[in-house]
Structure formats: structure tokens, C-alpha cells
């Protein structure tokens, strides 16, 4: 029952940080508290903090979340300085973390758009022979609008159509 409630709630910075703390406590119980001080674990923790920071940075926040972001930023910098003592290494890490956050953010947006399109397409009535042709065209247009198609797919379709027209012109009937 609790899992169903957790999945229906929108994720916030607070909930994601508490999830990470629970996971960290589990790691500490399994591997001991000394394992939490290892360099590799700190790298994993810093990667998670980077992901959270770039995910929630710049979004509308409550005063509690603003305070959490400030603490998250301080903790990130502290871990970053201990893991990467040189300035150049820190700069490279920040750039890599930002690129990783942009990459995962784009993947999440594409996934969300697909899920929304699928949900909306499922709610449409099926195209049947009993519906009028105008309704079928309208439903097909609605489905086309909902499915995210890149501009490259449109360009490829246009090129295929142009090629088929060229081939038809050369034939004699």
C-alpha cells in the first residue's frame, strides 16, 4: 500500500534526498560504516547529488526546498573538494556532471512525451468501419499530433515521396 502511495506522489527534492539517505543506511548496515567513507562510495554519492542539483536547480521551490538546495550545494562542493583536490580536476568533473545531467534530462523528457502520447492514444475510440470518414480523419490527425516525431523523420518522409515521384515520372504507360 505504501509503495502505491509513493509512486502516485510527484517526486520532490525532499523525497529524493530521503530515498538516498535510506539507501545509504542500508549500505551502512550491509557493508559497515567504514565502507561509506570509501572514495568510490563518495563518488557515487556525489554523482547522485549532482543529478539532484541539476534536476531541481532553477525550479520554483518552497522555502524548505530552497534551504535544502543550499545545503545540497554546500555538501556537493565539500565532497568535490575532497575527491578532486586540484582545480582543473574539479572543473572537469563539473563539466562532466552538467553534461550527464543534460543527457539524462533529455532522455526523461522524451520518455515522458512518449508516455503521454501513448496514454492519450489509448483513450481514443478505435477506428472502425461504423465511424464516418470525417471522424476517422480527425482521429488520425489527433494521433499524429500526439505522437512526437522528429523533424528528421518528416524530412526522410518527404525525401522518400520525392524519390517515388521521380521514379513514376520516368515510366511510360
Domain count, the chain: 1
DSSP one-letter string for 27-86: HHHHH-GGGGGSHHHHHHHHHHHHHHHHHHTTS---HHHHHHHHHHHHHHHHHHHHH--S
Does the pLDDT value for residue 1 go beyond 50? Answer: no
Q: What percentage of residues in the chain have a pLDDT greater than 90?
A: 27
* Domain of residue 60, residue span: 11-115
**155: in domain:** no
Q: How far apart are CA 146 and CA 120, in angstroms?
A: 7
- Rounded mean pLDDT of 36-44? 91
Please say whether the beta carbons of 58 and 92 come within 8 A: no
More confidently predicted of 123 and 93: 93
**96: in domain:** yes
**98: in domain:** yes
**63: in domain:** yes
DSSP three-state, residue 150: coil
More confidently predicted of 73 and 147: 73
**58: in domain:** yes
> Phi/psi at 58 (nearest 5 deg)?
85, 0
More confidently predicted of 123 and 71: 71
Please say whether the beta carbons of 121 and 143 come within 8 A: yes
**170: in domain:** no
Amino acid at each position: 500500500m505504501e509503495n502505491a502511495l509513493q509512486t502516485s506522489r510527484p517526486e520532490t527534492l525532499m523525497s529524493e534526498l530521503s530515498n538516498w539517505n535510506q539507501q545509504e543506511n542500508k549500505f551502512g548496515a550491509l557493508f559497515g560504516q567504514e565502507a561509506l567513507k570509501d572514495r568510490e562510495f563518495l563518488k557515487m554519492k556525489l554523482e547522485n547529488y549532482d543529478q539532484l542539483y541539476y534536476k531541481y536547480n532553477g525550479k520554483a521551490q518552497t522555502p524548505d526546498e530552497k534551504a535544502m538546495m543550499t545545503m545540497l550545494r554546500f555538501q556537493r562542493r565539500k565532497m568535490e573538494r575532497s575527491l578532486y583536490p586540484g582545480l582543473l580536476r574539479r572543473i572537469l568533473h563539473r563539466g562532466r556532471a552538467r553534461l550527464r545531467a543534460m543527457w539524462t534530462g533529455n532522455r526523461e523528457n522524451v520518455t515522458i512525451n512518449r508516455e503521454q502520447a501513448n496514454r492519450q492514444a489509448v483513450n481514443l475510440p478505435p477506428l472502425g468501419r461504423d465511424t464516418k470518414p470525417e471522424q476517422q480523419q480527425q482521429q488520425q490527425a489527433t494521433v499524429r499530433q500526439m505522437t512526437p516525431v522528429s523533424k528528421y523523420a518528416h524530412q526522410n518522409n518527404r525525401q522518400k515521396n520525392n524519390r517515388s515521384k521521380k521514379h513514376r515520372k520516368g515510366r511510360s504507360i
